[in-house]
Structure 1
């Protein structure tokens, strides 16, 4: 994109220009860091006025600074210098609002001074946020330049997982059968979740290996129950028995193959089938995103057919509700945002969308096909002319197959610095499925997600 300024001699009274911007919570953290204004009213994880609500109100000068972007980039543009600016703040903007900043030439004065009427509005409801007057020194010469590359900023905080942990702590610890926690990561994650009162672990596995793992990480098992089983497949079967008997309300994968755990859970007699297919959901806390992103299915169903995708979508919607998303928006991903008979995923996406309209998928909004960009970016959706409550706002990303889901989740983790909590749904109880590479925060979050979902399934919350 190229910018062309408008020097003083070319300016006319009535000339106008505008820019749009969507405010994010991270914008306000960056503003707080740069300005030194740490007023908690503007920070999403703080209650700034004692009303128990975290407001995330846009800082007034952040909103005002949007006007300077129009002045410096477009009208008059490059070479413009401020002389003065008045503001009257009429309303407040919040994280998630789209704002439009507009400037209009009101008067030309001597010495290249120009008086500009300025305002910022919220286009969604035409609310005026701020009005004012700017006096600037307009550029003398005509200039043209490409968009200047400014280093991007990523606020690396995992606030969504912090919120999940806060929601899960008041619940009674969920009795959880932990299968083969025989190495430091899997045992440490279970014990940490127990310390946070999220789960009450029942350790099923080889007692000698469990004790050795505890010594290696210098943790005490305390009163944790150990059910001695040396074979991994047998340990998975015993853990499932604990659920069937009502002693456990969740399963947690330790140091064993996922197939061994799921084979036991899927056994025909005394298994954990509950009428839907088992499906996997990653709950991703992506820095810079205003809400968690659920990615499904990235671990179990390799090439799901339409019937399986129905369960994948419904399970994800149910989980999204459990973790506090009131009306989940599920974007069904494909390579394109239009139905192409040659691309099966686009046809499946359209069918899932129509099925949701007819009540065959319940509890959330479903739309597709959507390409990745217009599923998560309002700007991309608008560019493509997509009118949808889901496009650009998706909470859930339903991928075409396991390859796509696994790649997407790992790209978010290793490139976008996301943390991921993993659970399997469709069983009688949630199954916590951690990766060996997961850190403590991801393991804790997986336990919190499972606890919240189990509590809602039991109608405790």
Structure 2
């Protein structure tokens, strides 16, 4: 990103320059944050005039900033200082429009003053904005490398927004919510109900559930409550509801995960489906172009090779249910080569070969991979890795629960990722939220479970 200027003495009347770019939703969010202007008319998904349709209109000063880009980068270029700018708006620009900003030199004056006509046009030639700008042109040649300007990372979770839209047409998932006896767990279930993602069946102590509802100002009218004060018995009843065909999923409330999962593992009355249960974080990481899956971070503490086969297959099946037809699976370790002193590297190599031989299906599997060369293409190239997975992994399989949990928490609390949590491998999905999860994560977990359930019911 290199810019050269045109000093004042080299400017000629009629000189012109332009730039073209698309107006994106991110542009409007950045402008709202930097300017402080939160007018809903200029926010991509807000309905500013209450007509039922989001406007997504680009602020006129954002449109005018494209003129500033031309003056500052191209003509006259680096070293230019604004004196004045007039603007006349002719029509609105919206998200998705491709805009061209053009400046033409009209006159030169004392003190290196240069006057330009300015205009911004839509791709079809429609005039969006016109005016004149006066600038003080630079007095000497200058080149500038703009590549050192820091990048911006927006904390938007566009992938979760997509999942929610995909789940919207589905019938609500009949969900046994176990011990929703405090504000967040009950509130998450009711929020998912309001978005028609689930149809909750509340199992727990009615007095505690009512107290939680009072705390958040919720009305439980019309919601089925099965009174079971003891968590262990409530979890067992949830399993029974699934076995009886009266529930399609189970959701964790205010109880320990091991208490919730224990009755599912019973060989006679549980929900075993031929595989080991495993936990999967579905993560929307700002700046990443796709969802990122991290497993196992909550159930299998030190999985052996047989368990890792199920962990990998569960994650592939979930990723496919969310629209990734051939997910790329990176088996993580500390290094990307087999090292006999690091057992996880040997497990990774075996898992990769098993996938090649069809013993793991539905995705591409490679390992061992270190974290950097699993997700960064340049890091993979530096290490000479050329597989279809290296640098492009959708699924990260941790060597043990400690590594998986730390990776997921680092992504959440340092990289500002949003994380949905589900357990796969039983005969129904299990929605497993953390007490620290916000509303977005709780909704996304329900959407993930609904999409997985719908895929599981689809023949073939």
When the two structures are superposed, what TM-score results if normalisation uses the length of structure 1? 0.70
Cα deviation per residue 1:181-235 (whole Å; 9 max; x = unaligned)?
0001000100111111111110000111111111110011121100110101011
CA distance in 1, matches of 2:250, 2:387: 38
Match of 2:181 in 1: 182
1:29-108 map, 5 Å: none
Cα deviation per residue 1:405-431 (whole Å; 9 max; x = unaligned)?
000000000001111000001100001
Cα deviation per residue 1:427-453 (whole Å; 9 max; x = unaligned)?
000011010111111111101101110
User: How has the CA–CA distance of structure 1 residues 32 and 180 changed in structure 2, closer, same or farther, with 3 Å as cutoff?
Assistant: closer
Match of 1:171 in 2: 170
Match of 2:322 in 1: 323
Shift of 1:260: 0.5
Q: Does 1:251 align with 2:253?
A: no
Q: Does 1:349 align with 2:352?
A: no
Shift of 1:152: 3.9
Aligned-pair Cα RMSD in Å: 3.6
Match of 2:97 in 1: none
User: How has the CA–CA distance of structure 1 residues 219 and 304 changed in structure 2, closer, same or farther, with 3 Å as cutoff?
Assistant: same
CA distance in 1, matches of 2:378, 2:244: 52
CA distance in 2, matches of 1:33, 1:195: 27
Match of 2:135 in 1: none
Match of 1:369 in 2: 368
User: How has the CA–CA distance of structure 1 residues 141 and 400 changed in structure 2, closer, same or farther, with 3 Å as cutoff?
Assistant: same
Match of 2:396 in 1: 397
Corresponding residue pairs, total:
358
Contact 2:28/2:44 (<8 A) preserved: no
CA distance in 2, matches of 1:33, 1:383: 35
With 152-161 and 293-302 compared, the bigger mean Cα shift is at 152-161
CA distance in 2, matches of 1:415, 1:380: 21
Match of 1:448 in 2: 447
1:265-304 map, 5 Å: 265-304=264-303
User: 5+ unaligned residues in a row in structure 2: which ranges?
Assistant: 5-21, 33-42, 46-65, 81-137
Match of 2:195 in 1: 196
Shift of 1:149: 5.5
Q: Does 1:206 align with 2:205?
A: yes
Shift of 1:385: 1.6
Match of 1:223 in 2: 222
Contact 2:186/2:209 (<8 A) preserved: yes
Q: Secondary structure at the match of 1:171?
A: coil
User: How has the CA–CA distance of structure 1 residues 5 and 199 changed in structure 2, closer, same or farther, with 3 Å as cutoff?
Assistant: closer
User: How has the CA–CA distance of structure 1 residues 213 and 31 changed in structure 2, closer, same or farther, with 3 Å as cutoff?
Assistant: closer
Q: Secondary structure at the match of 1:388?
A: coil
User: How has the CA–CA distance of structure 1 residues 196 and 354 changed in structure 2, closer, same or farther, with 3 Å as cutoff?
Assistant: same
CA distance in 1, matches of 2:330, 2:220: 43
User: 5+ unaligned residues in a row in structure 1: which ranges?
Assistant: 7-24, 37-42, 46-61, 72-78, 83-136
Match of 2:83 in 1: none
Match of 2:261 in 1: 262
Match of 2:116 in 1: none
Contact 2:336/2:368 (<8 A) preserved: yes
Match of 1:421 in 2: 420
Q: Secondary structure at the match of 1:438?
A: coil
Match of 2:408 in 1: 409
Match of 2:380 in 1: 381
CA distance in 2, matches of 1:214, 1:32: 37
User: How has the CA–CA distance of structure 1 residues 419 and 240 changed in structure 2, closer, same or farther, with 3 Å as cutoff?
Assistant: same
CA distance in 2, matches of 1:317, 1:264: 25
Match of 1:237 in 2: 236
Structure showing greater radius of gyration is: 2
User: How has the CA–CA distance of structure 1 residues 209 and 379 changed in structure 2, closer, same or farther, with 3 Å as cutoff?
Assistant: same
When the two structures are superposed, what TM-score results if normalisation uses the length of structure 2? 0.71
